[in-house]
Amino acid sequence: MLSQERREIDEIDQEIVSLLEKRLTVVNRVAKVKVCNQLEVHDAKREAEVFSKIKSYISKPDYEEIILALYQEMMILSKAYQAKVTKTKK
């Protein structure tokens, strides 16, 4: 009954994980640059820019709230990861 939809979700999840790994690789590089340049992990201006861009990418308004909430959580986790990386690099 739901097997086709679940297979599609599994395939999408695999793509999402791959993309998240790529994103975290870049986040790791960002953290290293921040350490080298003695920059703070949290950059409110950049965060606002990211949310603005993400909002502009959303083509289905019904999904906006959940997509922005997911990005909010991803940003929280990203900052926590960067803080951990920068702490170990000092």
How far is 66 from 62, CA to CA, in rounded Å? 9
Residue 88 confidence (pLDDT) above 90? no
Q: Which residues of 56-76 are buried (b: 16+ CB within 10 A; e: fewer)?
A: eeeeeeeeeeeeeeebeebbe
Q: Which of 31, 38, 34 is nearest to 85 (CA)?
A: 31
Domains of the chain, start order: 3-89 (1.20.59.10)
Q: pLDDT grade, residue 89 (50/70/90)?
A: low
Return mean pLDDT, the chain: 94
pLDDT in tens, 24-52: 999 999 999 999 999 999 999 999 999 99
Asked if 31 and 81 count as a contact pair (C-beta separation under 8 A), the reply is yes
pLDDT in tens, 76-87: 999 999 988 888
Share of the chain above pLDDT 70, in %: 98
What pLDDT was estimated at residue 85? 84
The residue assigned the tokens 């906006």 is 64
